Amino acid sequence: MAADLAGGGGGGAAAADPDGPDGVRMTWNAWPRSKVEASKCVIPVAACIAPIRASPSLLVLPYAPLRCKPPCAAVLNPFARVDFAARIWICPICFSRNHFPPHYAAISETNVPGELYPQCTTVEYAPPPHDAAAAAAAAAAAVPAPIFLFVLDTCLIEEELGFVKSAMRRALGLLPDHALVGLVTFGTQVHLHELGFSDLSKIYVFRGTKEISKEQILDQLGLFSAGIRPGAAGPPGYPKAGLQANGLHPSGSVNRFLLPASDCEYTLNALLDELQTDQWPVEAGNRSRRCTGVALSVAAGLLGACMPGTGARIIALVGGPCTEGPGMIVSKDLSEPVRSHKDLDKDAAPHFHKAVKFYDNLAKQLVNQGHVLDLFASALDQVGVAEMKVAVERTGGLVVLAESFGHPVFKDSFKRIFEDGEQSLGLSFNGTLEINCSKDIKIQGAIGPCTSLEKKGALCADTVIGQGNTTSWRMCGLDRSTCLTVFFDISPSERSSQPGIPNPQLYIQFLTNYQNPEGQMRLRVTTITRKWVDGSANTEELVEGFDQETAAVVLARYISLKMEMEEEFDATRWLDRSLIRLCSRFGDYRKDDPASFTLHPNFSIFPQFMFNLRRSQFVQVFNNSPDETAYFRMLLNRESITNSVVMIQPSLLSYSFNSPPAPALLDVASISADHILLLDAYFSVVIFHGMTIAQWRNMGYQNQPEHQAFAQLLQAPQDDAQIIIRDRFPVPRLVICDQHGSQARFLLAKLNPSATYNSAHEVAPGSDVIFTDDVSLQVFCEHLQRLAVQS
């Protein structure tokens, strides 16, 4: 066993990792012990977990985990108490005593298995197949090939279609040879291309206006013939589920449509060559007829013929709104605009709810099948991301919103998903997350790219947040950056609240089963412990355990959810009141004396986060289309805390001759004529040249040898921007602009309006003002102080 550990145990490179070795961050690292206390904390108790975050120190164990007896079923972990003599371990979560099985006989204080190493709170099991003998032989064959089913919109102008084709060609070149590929194109109708037919190009055509069930699709494609009918393949009476589980499902026939990339590359390329834009006529004054909904149904239906558990992604490239059939978001008539937030608010979007319901059902189907929907939307107008959000998010799909298929945001992002190696997103399939936790802790639900498996139990809370009513979630697709937010409720039982059994620690175990990019099934186990804080007296302990970044992000996610779920929800007001309550509770002040107000460092920038959150796209949705809002929220919900913080409060770097690049205040005051600013707002990266810099640049000084320094100055933010862009998915939009240029709005919108036209007289030369009536951070904080100290 020791030998096994050697490979995985790399060493503590995780020091700089803000998420810690476990990839778990919590709003509160010290938990109030009672419900009342918890509610006084204002910020909900929640954990953000990146279930399969890449970690160099990860220990991979090549055997099956040892589990506590049901119903607990927790996996043996470093927090278990082990009685080496008796060969017994005590589960820290349920306190059950378990005997070590015979193959752990060699265990001793000096010889412990990897999962008991104290630093290995996160380990990954890679158990070999049960039948060891066959393992070697089966290994190669048994690894299911990932499936990529492309769904291409053809209601495009020629140019856009050209971009799509070239993106597709590049993607095909990057696909692993064994990956199975399928192709669906759609416009007025859906074309499913049969790639395994050599005589000529063969296409199944589905009408765009008619909703079609999975059964109908399979039937019409002749995919029912081989084995689904009971009795056809298996012995009589053999349960159907067994058939499928045993791989007798007629996946053979589905191979007409899904072929290994190496086999169909030529066919696909030829097909792309001949692919035309949708030929159905579009009447003047009308939108083209686009049946995105049916196309996705067909794709999902086709994958339904695959063995459940086979990792598959539907990669949809959509260039406009769905105007036909189920999932339609707007009518064909151009005089009817696509719904806006206002329409949604006033319930004036006639197609919205129907479409959402359609995609909700689609999501259920995909989740059942364990398949992922990725959405690449590229259009100037909306395409219906808001409606499709449910299907993408529940299946753990990726989403990218761009203006054009020729735009780098699309092109580079699209390429990323097929890239291998270090740049790889680590796209994995078929994940499930299970949570085990100490009693007194209930799980309310999760926000993020997952679906509740409705596995109810004693650990489920009465109240639900996001995907709740379960201790187990499915993530059909997940990757290294996938992050879930789990909300906990503290509800001590009568017995445990008795002071008799003081157990200062609480334990939570996260079990993530998934199929890694290589196709192997893995189980990652993360066990964490936090301490309980008793009574209301110990504010200090609570304060010490507060993670303001996480708190800000969780709040943003929580409020986004509420805005979607609750009508007439006033987010700004809710945020303000929460913030005030929080400050009242944890601030240091004298009653009714605003001047005396101070905050512990753990809270100090939280108000600023809130200030920016209030102004962000997550709360001020009216500045954006529903599609954009949906897009932003999906990313907010699935990204790590660090990234999410940037979404809420962008970072700003300033470059100048006189000093090295330095973080600058996110304030209009940071603008200066001889500075270059680099703003990272996550979705966009803005390089902003001060007026003087822009002039110099326009005059071409950077090209003159004597002004090399200037050239370097110009280049520095570009390089930094590229670093940001390279690591990020989706690729952010890069905006390069000059002071007073029209594109400068991308920067100005994010800055604290400390100088507005109202205060113009105070402006220093070279700086800027923002034309807004919004309050500045300073005003906001003043008000906060005043309100927080009120009695």
Partner 1 sequence: MASSQPFSSVPPRPRPGFSLSPNPTPSSTADALQNLQIGRVPPPSAAPSAAAGPFSSPASRPGPPPPAATLSRPGPPPFASGHPTTSGLPTTSASITSNGPPAFGLGAPRFPPPPPAVQQPPPMGAPASIRAPPQALVSRPFPGSSPSVALPSSQPFMGPPPSSQPYMNPLPSSQPFMGPPSSRPFAGPPSSQPFAGPPSSQPFGAPPSSQPFGAPPSSRPSGGPPSSQTSGGPPSSQPFVGPPSSQPFAGRPSSQPFMGTTTPFRGTLASSSPFGTPSWQLQTQQGAPPMPGTMQAPPRMFGMPPHMPGQPMAPVPPVTGHSPLAGHQVSTPSKIDPNQIPRPVPNTSVVLFETRQGNQANIPPPATSDFIVKDNGNCSPRLMRCTMNQIPCTGDLLSTSSMPLALMIQPFALPHPSEEPIQVVDFGESGPLRCSRCKGYINPFMRFVDQGRHFICNLCGFTNETPRDYYCNLGPDGRRHDADERPELCGGTVEFVATKEYMVRDPMPAVFFFIIDVSMNAIQTGATAAACTAINQALVDLPEGPRTLVGIATFDSSIHFYNIKQASQQPLMLIVPDVQDVYTPLHTDLIVQLSECRQNLEQLLDSIPNMFENNRVADSAFGAAIKAAFLAMKPTGGKLLVFQSVLPSIGIGSLSSREAEGRTNVSSGDKEAHKLLQPADKTLKTMAIEFAEYQVCVDIFLTTQTFVDIASISVVPRTTGGQVYYYYPFSVLSDPAKLYNDLRWNISRPQGFEAVMRVRCSQGLQVQEYSGNFCKRIPSDIDLPAIDCDKTIMVTFKHDDKFQEGSECAFQCALLYTTVYGQRRIRIINLSLPCTSMLSNLFRSADLDTQFTCFLKQAANGIPASPLFQVREQTTNLCINILHSYRKFCATVSSSGQLILPEALKLLPLYTLALVKSIGLRNDGWLDDRSYWVSRSASLSILLAVPLVYPRMISIHDLASKEDDGSLLSATIPLSSEHINDDGIYLLENGEDGLFYVGNMVNPDTLQQLFGVSSVDGVPTQLVLQQFDNDLSKKLIDVVNETRRQRCSYLRLRLCRKGDPSALFFLSYMVEDKTPGGLSYVEFLVHVHRQIQTKMA
The site for partner 1 (CB under 8 A) is made up of 188-189, 191, 194, 197, 199-207, 210, 212, 216, 220-222, 270, 274, 279-281
Contact present, 583 and 597 (Cβ < 8 Å): yes
- C-alpha 399/C-alpha 340 separation (Å) is 20
Nearer to partner 1, 289 or 557 (CB): 289
Minimum gap (Å) between residue 303 Cβ and partner 1: 17
Cβ count within 10 A of residue 176: 16
The neighbouring-strand residues paired with 274 are: none
Nearer to partner 1, 191 or 633 (CB): 191
Phi-psi region of 279 (alpha: psi -120 to 50; beta: other; left: phi over 0): alpha
Long-range contacts of 738-741, Cβ-Cβ distance < 8 Å, separation of 24 or more: 738/688, 738/689, 738/691, 738/693, 738/694, 739/671, 739/673, 739/688, 739/689, 739/690, 739/691, 739/694, 739/768, 740/691, 740/768, 741/694
Running DSSP on this structure, what letter comes out for residue 27? S
Minimum gap (Å) between residue 259 Cβ and partner 1: 17
Minimum gap (Å) between residue 444 Cβ and partner 1: 44
The torsion angles phi and psi of 512, rounded to 5 degrees, stand at: -115, 115
Nearer to partner 1, 218 or 388 (CB): 218
- Alpha carbon of 194 to those of 183, 225, 422: distances in Å? 8, 17, 34
Nearest 5 degrees, angle CA 34-CA 36-CA 38? 70
Residue 546: exposure state from Cβ atoms within 10 A (0-12, 13-18, ≥19): buried
Nearer to partner 1, 225 or 623 (CB): 225
Minimum gap (Å) between residue 482 Cβ and partner 1: 36
Running DSSP on this structure, what letter comes out for residue 13? G
Residue 48, both tokens: 């953000």
Minimum gap (Å) between residue 210 Cβ and partner 1: 6
Nearest 5 degrees, angle CA 562-CA 566-CA 572? 55
Nearer to partner 1, 201 or 572 (CB): 201
Minimum gap (Å) between residue 169 Cβ and partner 1: 17
Residue 49, both tokens: 């977990």
How many Cα atoms sit within 13 Å of 761 on the Cβ side? 1
Nearer to partner 1, 222 or 247 (CB): 222
Contact present, 319 and 156 (Cβ < 8 Å): yes
Nearest 5 degrees, angle CA 632-CA 455-CA 392? 25
Nearer to partner 1, 165 or 581 (CB): 165
Residue 200, both tokens: 């000529």
Minimum gap (Å) between residue 313 Cβ and partner 1: 24
Minimum gap (Å) between residue 257 Cβ and partner 1: 12
Minimum gap (Å) between residue 127 Cβ and partner 1: 42
In the three-class reduction of DSSP (H, G, I as helix; E, B as strand; rest coil), residue 145 is classed as: coil
Long-range contacts of 707-713, Cβ-Cβ distance < 8 Å, separation of 24 or more: 709/657, 713/655, 713/656, 713/657, 713/676
- C-alpha 513/C-alpha 509 separation (Å) is 13
Nearer to partner 1, 124 or 278 (CB): 278
Minimum gap (Å) between residue 333 Cβ and partner 1: 20
Minimum gap (Å) between residue 302 Cβ and partner 1: 12
Contact present, 329 and 181 (Cβ < 8 Å): no
Minimum gap (Å) between residue 293 Cβ and partner 1: 16
In the three-class reduction of DSSP (H, G, I as helix; E, B as strand; rest coil), residue 493 is classed as: coil
**Looking up tokens 């598959």, which residue turns up?**
312
Nearer to partner 1, 211 or 566 (CB): 211
Minimum gap (Å) between residue 222 Cβ and partner 1: 7
Minimum gap (Å) between residue 79 Cβ and partner 1: 57
Nearer to partner 1, 197 or 657 (CB): 197
In the three-class reduction of DSSP (H, G, I as helix; E, B as strand; rest coil), residue 539 is classed as: helix
Nearer to partner 1, 279 or 742 (CB): 279
Minimum gap (Å) between residue 221 Cβ and partner 1: 6
Minimum gap (Å) between residue 216 Cβ and partner 1: 7
Minimum gap (Å) between residue 301 Cβ and partner 1: 11
CA 234 to chain CA centroid, nearest Å: 41
- C-alpha 226/C-alpha 242 separation (Å) is 16
Running DSSP on this structure, what letter comes out for residue 603? H
Nearer to partner 1, 281 or 601 (CB): 281
In the three-class reduction of DSSP (H, G, I as helix; E, B as strand; rest coil), residue 399 is classed as: strand
Nearer to partner 1, 326 or 607 (CB): 326
Nearer to partner 1, 79 or 204 (CB): 204
- C-alpha 90/C-alpha 76 separation (Å) is 9
Q: Which helix (H) or strand (E) holds 283?
A: none
Nearer to partner 1, 110 or 279 (CB): 279
Nearer to partner 1, 189 or 365 (CB): 189
Nearer to partner 1, 291 or 685 (CB): 291
- Contacts with 132 (C-beta within 8 Å, 6 or more apart), sequence order: none
Contact present, 661 and 655 (Cβ < 8 Å): yes
Contact present, 478 and 514 (Cβ < 8 Å): yes
Contact present, 295 and 186 (Cβ < 8 Å): yes
Nearest 5 degrees, angle CA 694-CA 733-CA 656? 35
Nearer to partner 1, 311 or 325 (CB): 325
Q: The sheet that has 441-447: what strands, in order across it?
A: 24-26, 46-49, 484-490, 441-447
Minimum gap (Å) between residue 195 Cβ and partner 1: 13
